[in-house]
Structure 1
Amino acid sequence: SVSAAREAGFKNISLDLMFGLPEQSLEIWEESLQNATQLKPTHLSLYNLTIEKETPFYYQLRKGELILPSEELQLKMYERAVDYLSQAGYTHYEISNFAVKGYECRHNKVYWNNNEYLSFGPGAASYLNGTRSKNILSPGKYIETLLEKKEIPLFEKETLDQKKSMGETLMLGLRMVNGVNVSDFEKRFGKTLDSEFGEKIRKLRNEQFLEYSDKKLKLTHKGILFSNEVFVELV
């Protein structure tokens, strides 16, 4: 697939890899990393397997029929990937993403910076003027409503108050390895990080999950490993 894409003229190629899979060992994961980098993609995304409720894996896990790597081993897989890809010349710019310099994903950075985006089509999600919305899923009903009522057929929408918008901006921004620019954040909302999240930030800094560096608030190495717990604590 990668060769075919290059032959078709694509120069910017991204690969997705998963770890924490059933029966996956550290050696198998290292082999996957080696195989991926040999293809010389410009971007790599790494995802830890998440077991969702009401799925075949969920029921197999409950019955003891699904053997997953331990949490300790999954952490080792992630840390090994960070080290390996850094040595291979990739910049670790977001918790799950690595890129050759200049090939960071501009599309996803819109989300991580909590900027606005407008989407069209069935099931598409948008964020505009402080309101998050999602279109109806049915293509037929989407087209029918669009033609008859001359309006975007929404399935749901939510207007975020400033407090929630600040929390989401902080949480999403911390996914970036460079962290949240404190000055930009405060200009955007007209309030200081300390006035809104000071107590929580101090607690997480004392526990070595967060740090201030170059006028930015960012996750420490420990914070990256336990980012989900940090985000729950923070917002």
Structure 2
Amino acid sequence: MQSLPTAYRAIVIGASGAIGGAMAAQLSADPRCAEVCALSRHSDPAVDLDAGRSIASAAQALAHRGPWHLIVLATGMLCGPTGGPEKRLADLNAAHLAASFATNTIGPALVLAHFAPLLARGERSLFAVLSAKVGSIGDNRLGGWYSYRASKAALNMLLKTASIEVARTRPQAVLAALHPGTVDSALSAPFRGAQIGRPPAEAAHDLLVLLDGLQPEDSGGFWAYDGQCLPW
């Protein structure tokens, strides 16, 4: 991360996942990075997107260890006890809709609310959330996947709106919604098997390179791992 100040500090939320873990590992290997705080349900402090208090408590615990120059939220839910992607309207159920929004939208919204204030002032900083190309309304050509699409589209709006507010106090900050592509992970495995995409390390590298090149005027954008700006 050559664009961040020397001895920058990073937080990765969702570090127990495939992409989050790979990003945390690569940041830890960067000699310019002074500290990487890898957060998950089992870390100390712990962050559970289904428990708003844990998000607020973790942010409070880390505030004095800043300034933080890079914050990444690498979480997401596609399948769970309430079901999986819906192929048609008749498959919709309230429980799965609620679960999708809880993990993909409401939890991330609270992360933005509590962690964005930790970004460094007066110098470059980055805040990224993992979104998904299927959350693009303009790119939706196949339909289906109602809960996942809608919850990620809502996440994109939250990120865009937060970027406007954050720019007022941190004009050098960049907030970005990122599409990692298809990655070998637990999220993707139920559909085509474990080995269906790129290795997590490759995806993490691409995302970090992308973030490194974004400028303040790009803040609030929706980006694919290959640098493509995606339609809302």
The answer, yes or no, to whether TM exceeds 0.5 is no
Report which of the two has the higher share of strand. Answer: 1
Compare CA radii of gyration and give the structure with the larger one: 1
Structure scoring higher RCO (CA < 8 A, sep ≥ 6) equals 2
When normalised by structure 1's length, the TM-score is 0.30
| TM-score scaled by length of structure 2 | 0.31
